[in-house]
Amino acid sequence: DIQMTQSPSSLSASVGDRVTITCQASQDISNYLNWYQQKPGKAPKLLIYDASNLETGVPSRFSGSGSGTDFTFTISSLQPEDIATYYCQQYDNLPRFTFGPGTKVDIK
């Protein structure tokens, strides 16, 4: 099975800061990697698909990059409404899926 790791597990940043989260796969998954945002008590929301494509309607301050085993998710200028937990998810071995453990983002 493909395992996913994320770092950090949590972070605190100031409004306007650039925030970066990394996700690593246990084997090469090409660009079969998505990013989700989950706010407390809500279902996850797809932000980035295929490693770097912004989902329709998602603000452009969110971006993703990477391929193979190493991926990065960036919020270019953190906003108060971005407080959430962010998950990466691989789909290299469809129809099976694996989520990363999540990164909790708070405002400092």
Partner 1 sequence: QVQLVQSGAEVKKPGASVKVSCKVSGYTLTELSMHWVRQAPGKGLEWMGGFDPEDGETIYAQKFQGRVTMTEDTSTDTAYMELSSLRSEDTAVYYCATGAGGAFDIWGQGTMVTVSS
* Sites of contact with partner 1 (CB under 8 A): 1, 32, 34, 36, 38, 43-46, 49-50, 55, 87, 89, 91, 94-102
For the bound state, the minimum distance from the C-beta of residue 76 to partner 1, rounded and expressed in Å, comes to 22
For the bound state, the minimum distance from the C-beta of residue 14 to partner 1, rounded and expressed in Å, comes to 26
- How many other CB atoms are found less than 10 A from the CB of residue 12? 11
Backbone angles phi, psi at 80, to 5 degrees: -55, -35
User: CA-CA distances (angstroms) from residue 45 to 1, 14, 28, 89, 108?
Assistant: 25, 23, 25, 12, 23
User: Of 94 and 108, which has the nearer Cβ to partner 1?
Assistant: 94
User: Of 1 and 14, which has the nearer Cβ to partner 1?
Assistant: 1
For the bound state, the minimum distance from the C-beta of residue 49 to partner 1, rounded and expressed in Å, comes to 4
User: Of 17 and 45, which has the nearer Cβ to partner 1?
Assistant: 45
69 forms bridges with which residues in the sheet? none
Between CA 53 and CA 57 the distance in angstroms is 12
